[in-house]
């Protein structure tokens, strides 16, 4: 039993086989968790078990294997439902990930928006929460408006108030910024939007590895996330939608699984959630998503949050001792993402040198070019920490960045 408020990081690290490998002659220090997390043995075993013992297509066969696979897949859906405190299983649409979920909703709103309508996006979105809406606006003639942020990388809510009007139909905002680490006040954002009759989609891709959102309490209309950032496999994710919304939206893709009856004259669609799940899904991925949730729950989000805050504070403090280092994203509500630059040095060069020392960080625009434009920088170095990282790894990062600075300055 590990479910205590404190977290035994050395024991936890043993669950992740990749953490003991070497990169460029050094023990891997993996600090690119905002791009994707590593996978614990329990999730890897779940995948091997599926393909070794009960691989079959789901929802169709009468044979036993198909039944076993269907039961496992549907039980993963229930696990996801309970984890996010979602009311109905059919409100959980299994997708290929966050990008898929956003595109599904944006496509659906094509029939609900028209010229004169407005949609609001925040200034700190990932490209996957910008481009599908721009495409939607091109199709419908609706207008996209931007909720600005301040120098700290925090949304300016008074500007949001001014942008909201009867014309606002939809607001889409991330829960946590992948480039800055800022935690957005989504409960307030949702409440204000609802007061004006607008719906809200929250991009939770970056949030769900750090916190456990309660979707009923938030009263959010749509919430999307990806399994791969929360210890699960790539190619699977969740779209939550309130049933009333999912019933209104048209299907996204046509094909098998999503129909009730097909003839050449007319096709009727399956009930939720299958209406939005055309074709053979990522069956193994869905089941392993469930295993990842089990794993995270066993550690416990209270412990994860507390420990990651400690790492964030320590990393911020240590990095700021390097002269000329500037951190982007300095709001008080933040997760364990530290985006920074050193004056006069290109982020890519820092990334390359620290990689030689076995440290994986991200460099570049982090799929959030508007943020880089805001700060007038080409990109940043981003170190993003998970609950399996340690203070020693922070020290290694700081030493490596100092070394890079010496070599490059």
Ligand X SMILES: *Cc1c(COP(=O)(O)O)cnc(C)c1O
Active site residues: 367
Cβ proximity to ligand X: between 130 and 284 the closer is: 130
> How far is 160 from 148, CA to CA, in rounded Å?
8
The closest of 105, 108, 177, 103 to 147, measured between CA atoms, is 177
**CA-to-CA separations, 366 to 71, 95, 131, 180, in angstroms, rounded:** 38, 22, 15, 10
Distances (CA, A) of 120 to 147, 200, 343: 7, 9, 34
Q: Of 165-184, which residues contact ligand X (CB under 6 A)?
A: 174, 178
Q: What is the per-residue DSSP string for 206-268?
A: TTTTT----HHHHT-SEEEEEGGGGTS-SS-EEEEE-HHHHHHSPPSS-SSSSEEEE-SS-EE
Minimum distance, C-beta of residue 146 to ligand X, in the bound complex (Å): 16
CB 273 within 8 A of CB 91: yes
Regarding 129 and contact with ligand X (CB under 6 A), the answer is yes
Q: Considering the complex, what minimum distance in angstroms separates the CB of residue 98 from ligand X? A: 4
339 binds ligand X (CB under 6 A): no
In the complex with ligand X, which residue's Cβ is closer, 118 or 203?
A: 203
Residues 210-229 that bind ligand X (CB under 6 A): 226
Q: Rounded to the nearest whole angstrom, what is the least distance from the CB of residue 57 to ligand X in the complex?
A: 24
The residue range among 66-74, 92-100, 186-194, 271-279 that interacts with ligand X, by the rule CB under 6 A, is 92-100
Total count of residues recorded for the chain = 409
Stretch that binds ligand X, among 18-26, 110-118, 148-156, 203-211 (CB under 6 A): 203-211
- Closer Cβ to ligand X, 97 or 273, answer by number: 97
Q: Is 274 in the site for ligand X (CB under 6 A)?
A: no
Choose which of 203, 221, 277, 308 interacts with ligand X (CB under 6 A): 203
Q: Is 206 in the site for ligand X (CB under 6 A)?
A: yes
Please, is 182 exposed, middle or buried when counting C-beta atoms within 10 Å of its C-beta (0-12, 13-18, 19+)?
buried
Strand 92-95 to 118-122 pairing: unpaired
Stretch that binds ligand X, among 202-210, 253-261, 338-346, 387-395 (CB under 6 A): 202-210
205 binds ligand X (CB under 6 A): yes
To ligand X, the closest distance from the beta carbon of 40 in angstroms equals 19
Q: Which is nearer to ligand X, 70 or 128 (CB)?
A: 128
User: Other CB atoms closer than 10 Å to residue 148's CB: what's the count?
Assistant: 13
Q: Applying CB under 6 A, does 98 fall inside the site for ligand X?
A: yes
Q: Please tell me whether residue 126 binds ligand X under the rule CB under 6 A.
A: yes
Is 168 or 206 the residue whose CB approaches ligand X more closely? 206
Distance CA 27, CA 357 (A): 8
With 0-12 CB in 10 A as exposed, 13-18 as middle and 19+ as buried, what is 236?
A: buried
SS3 21: coil
Nearest one of 140, 147, 186 to 370, comparing CA atoms: 147
Among 70, 99, 209, 335, binds ligand X (CB under 6 A): 99
CB neighbours of residue 262 within 10 Å: 12
Does the protein bind ligand X through residue 103 (CB under 6 A)?
Answer: no
From the list 94-102, 111-119, 297-305, 320-328, the region that binds ligand X by CB under 6 A is 94-102
**Nearest-approach distance from CB 190 to ligand X, in angstroms:** 17
Do the bridges between strand 237-241 and strand 222-226 make them parallel or antiparallel, or are there none, so unpaired? antiparallel
Kindly state the smallest distance separating residue 238's Cβ from ligand X, in Å: 11
Closest distance to ligand X from the beta carbon of 164 (Å): 22
The β-bridge partners of 182 are: 334
Among 97, 153, 232, 358, binds ligand X (CB under 6 A): 97
| Residues found near ligand X in the complex (CB under 6 A) | 97-99, 126, 128-129, 174, 178, 203, 205-206, 226
């Amino acid at each position: 039993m590990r479910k205590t408020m404190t977290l035994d990081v050395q024991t936890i690290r043993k669950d992740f086989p990749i953490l003991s490998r070497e990169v460029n002659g050094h023990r891997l220090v993996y600090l690119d968790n905002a791009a994707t997390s590593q996978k614990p043995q329990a999730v890897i075993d779940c995948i091997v078990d599926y393909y070794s013992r009960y691989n079959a297509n789901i929802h169709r066969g009468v044979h036993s294997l198909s039944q076993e696979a269907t039961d496992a897949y549907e039980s993963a859906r229930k696990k996801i439902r309970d984890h996010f405190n979602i009311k109905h299983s059919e409100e959980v649409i299994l997708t290929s990930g966050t990008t898929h979920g956003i595109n599904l909703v944006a496509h659906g709103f094509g029939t609900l928006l028209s010229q004169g309508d407005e949609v609001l996006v925040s200034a700190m979105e990932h490209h996957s929460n910008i481009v599908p809406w721009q495409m939607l606006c091109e199709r419908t003639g609706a207008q996209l408006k931007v909720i600005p942020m301040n120098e700290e990388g925090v949304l300016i809510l008074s500007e949001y108030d001014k942008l909201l009007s009867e014309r606002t139909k939809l607001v889409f905002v991330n829960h946590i910024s992948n480039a800055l680490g800022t935690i957005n006040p989504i409960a307030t954002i949702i409440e204000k939007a609802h007061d004006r009759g607008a719906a809200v989609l929250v991009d939770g891709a970056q949030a769900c590895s750090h916190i456990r959102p309660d979707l009923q309490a938030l009263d959010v209309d749509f919430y999307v996330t990806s399994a791969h950032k929360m210890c699960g496999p790539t190619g699977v994710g969740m779209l939550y939608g309130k049933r009333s919304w999912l019933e209104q939206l048209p299907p996204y893709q046509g094909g098998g699984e999503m129909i009730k009856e097909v003839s050449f004259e007319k096709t009727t669609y399956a009930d939720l959630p299958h209406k939005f799940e055309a074709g053979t899904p990522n069956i193994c991925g869905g089941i392993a998503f469930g295993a990842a949730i089990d794993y995270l729950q066993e550690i416990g989000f209270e412990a994860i949050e507390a420990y990651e805050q400690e790492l964030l504070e320590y990393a911020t403090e240590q990095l700021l001792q390097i002269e000329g280092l500037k951190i982007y994203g300095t709001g008080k509500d933040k997760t364990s993402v530290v985006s920074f630059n050193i004056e006069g040095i290109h982020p890519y060069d820092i990334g390359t040198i620290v990689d030689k020392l076995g440290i994986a960080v991200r460099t570049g625009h982090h799929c959030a070019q508007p943020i880089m434009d805001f700060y007038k920088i080409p990109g940043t170095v981003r170190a993003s920490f998970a609950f399996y990282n340690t203070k020693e790894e922070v020290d290694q990062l700081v030493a490596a960045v100092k070394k890079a600075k010496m070599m490059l300055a």
